[in-house]
Structure 1
Amino acid sequence: MSDRKLVLEELRIDLAERLKRFQAHQHREDGALDPDFSEQAVERQNDEVVDGLENEVRAELIKVNRALERIEEGIGDECEKCGAAINPERLKVLPYATFCVACAGATAAPGQGG
């Protein structure tokens, strides 16, 4: 198994565990809201932060799964847009990258869409 695939699988496990913790928090598995209203306000603010973190983890998990699918298809090191090889240094830093630097920059540019 490639080092990158191993890193991605470990990352997927880590992200799934984080999601479980965030969901447990959101479902109040550790207990109901504090009866004190000021404490409830703080807890609700924390809920908003956890919601944001959960959304970020879900988005990262989608990227990890996509990269693993592409590796299984034998195209994991190719840019999803132009087909060029993705720089190995980029993949070390961002193992779930599916675009080369040029295409990632073009995709992120204003007016270019997702």
Structure 2
Amino acid sequence: MSNRKSELETLRADLKARLSKYEAHQHRQGGALEKDFEEQAVQTQNDEVVDSLETETRNELAQIEHALERLAEGLGGECEGCGEDIDPRRLQVLPYTTVCVKCAED
């Protein structure tokens, strides 16, 4: 179980680092928009992609935080939906999952 906790903490650190990069991009820490309109259009499209990546990263980070809370409560391997044990193979693939396959499909 501590291996899973360690993996989740590593994932959390990685996601927080990514969020910092996305936020730096959104705040134009690398410089203002180009003067050329075509370049501005490309930069604006890039902003939309970064926004999307940031949203996905925040969602995944929230899932990791939730999984870590459940681990701390001693419920890390128990499905939130049905209370059964989550298959260890599922936890290897999705260490931040809190539901078994059956509940995930429902």
Q: TM-score range by the shorter chain?
A: over 0.9
For 1:32, the equivalent position in structure 2 comes to 32
Distance in structure 1 (CA, Å) of the matches to 2:14 and 2:58: 12
- TM-score normalised per structure 2: 0.99
Q: Deviations over 1:14-60 (max 9, x none)?
A: 00000000000000001000010100000000000000000000000
Q: Deviations over 1:50-96 (max 9, x none)?
A: 00000000000000000000000000000001100000000000000
Distance in structure 1 (CA, Å) of the matches to 2:6 and 2:17: 17
Secondary structure at 1:60's aligned position in 2?
helix
Secondary structure at 1:89's aligned position in 2?
helix
1:8-87 correspondence to structure 2 within 5 Å = 8-87=8-87
Amino acid in structure 1 at the alignment position of 2:81: K
* Number of equivalent positions: 106
1:103 aligns with 2:100: no
For the aligned residue pairs, the C-alpha RMSD in angstroms reads 0.7
Amino acid in structure 1 at the alignment position of 2:63: K
Distance in structure 1 (CA, Å) of the matches to 2:72 and 2:52: 31
Query: Gaps spanning 5+ residues in structure 2: where?
Result: none
Secondary structure at 1:6's aligned position in 2?
helix
Query: Gaps spanning 5+ residues in structure 1: where?
Result: 107-114
Which aligned runs of 4 or more in structure 1 are off by greater than 3 angstroms?
none
For 2:90, the equivalent position in structure 1 comes to 90
For 2:4, the equivalent position in structure 1 comes to 4
Distance in structure 2 (CA, Å) of the matches to 1:34 and 1:59: 31
Amino acid in structure 1 at the alignment position of 2:12: R
Sequence identity of aligned pairs in percent? 60
